[in-house]
Protein backbone atom coordinates (compact mmCIF):
# COMPACT_ATOMS: atom_id res chain seq x y z
CA UNK A 1 0.00 0.00 0.00
CA UNK A 2 1.30 3.44 -0.91
CA UNK A 3 1.51 6.33 1.51
CA UNK A 4 1.11 9.95 0.46
CA UNK A 5 2.58 12.68 2.63
CA UNK A 6 1.39 16.26 2.25
CA UNK A 7 3.01 19.22 3.97
CA UNK A 8 1.23 22.56 3.98
CA UNK A 9 3.18 25.61 5.08
CA UNK A 10 1.00 28.36 6.51
CA UNK A 11 2.51 31.70 7.45
CA UNK A 12 0.33 32.34 10.50
CA UNK A 13 0.40 31.60 14.20
CA UNK A 14 -1.18 28.36 15.40
CA UNK A 15 -4.11 30.08 17.17
CA UNK A 16 -5.15 31.88 13.95
CA UNK A 17 -4.95 28.64 11.96
CA UNK A 18 -6.94 26.75 14.61
CA UNK A 19 -9.64 29.44 14.74
CA UNK A 20 -9.97 29.53 10.94
CA UNK A 21 -10.28 25.73 10.89
CA UNK A 22 -13.32 25.90 13.21
CA UNK A 23 -14.92 29.02 11.69
CA UNK A 24 -18.34 28.02 10.34
CA UNK A 25 -18.86 31.32 8.49
CA UNK A 26 -15.55 30.93 6.64
CA UNK A 27 -16.41 27.34 5.70
CA UNK A 28 -19.75 28.44 4.27
CA UNK A 29 -18.02 31.17 2.25
CA UNK A 30 -15.54 28.62 0.89
CA UNK A 31 -18.39 26.34 -0.26
CA UNK A 32 -20.57 29.11 -1.68
CA UNK A 33 -20.73 27.55 -5.16
CA UNK A 34 -22.12 24.28 -3.79
CA UNK A 35 -24.73 26.00 -1.63
CA UNK A 36 -23.56 24.28 1.55
CA UNK A 37 -25.15 25.86 4.62
CA UNK A 38 -25.18 25.14 8.36
CA UNK A 39 -28.77 24.40 9.37
CA UNK A 40 -28.68 23.06 12.93
CA UNK A 41 -26.56 23.20 16.07
CA UNK A 42 -24.00 26.00 15.96
CA UNK A 43 -24.65 27.68 12.60
CA UNK A 44 -22.18 30.56 12.72
CA UNK A 45 -19.04 31.71 14.45
CA UNK A 46 -16.40 29.44 15.96
CA UNK A 47 -17.48 25.93 16.86
CA UNK A 48 -16.45 24.95 20.38
CA UNK A 49 -15.64 21.63 22.02
CA UNK A 50 -18.77 19.52 22.49
CA UNK A 51 -20.81 21.49 19.93
CA UNK A 52 -22.17 20.11 16.67
CA UNK A 53 -23.14 21.55 13.33
CA UNK A 54 -25.37 20.07 10.65
Residue-level pLDDT at 27: 95
Residue-level pLDDT at 39: 94
The vertex-5 CA angle with 48 and 30, nearest 5°, equals: 45
Q: How far apart are CA 53 and CA 12, in angstroms?
A: 26
Q: How far apart are CA 26 and CA 47, in angstroms?
A: 12
User: What's the pLDDT tens digit per position in 3-52?
Assistant: 999 999 999 999 999 999 999 999 999 999 999 999 999 999 999 999 99
**pTM of the entire predicted model:** 0.77
The answer for residues whose C-beta is within 8 angstroms of residue 26's C-beta and 6 or more apart is 20
Euclidean distance between the first and final Cα of the chain, in Å?
34
Amino acid sequence: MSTIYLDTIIKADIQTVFDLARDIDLHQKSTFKTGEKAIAGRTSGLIEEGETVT
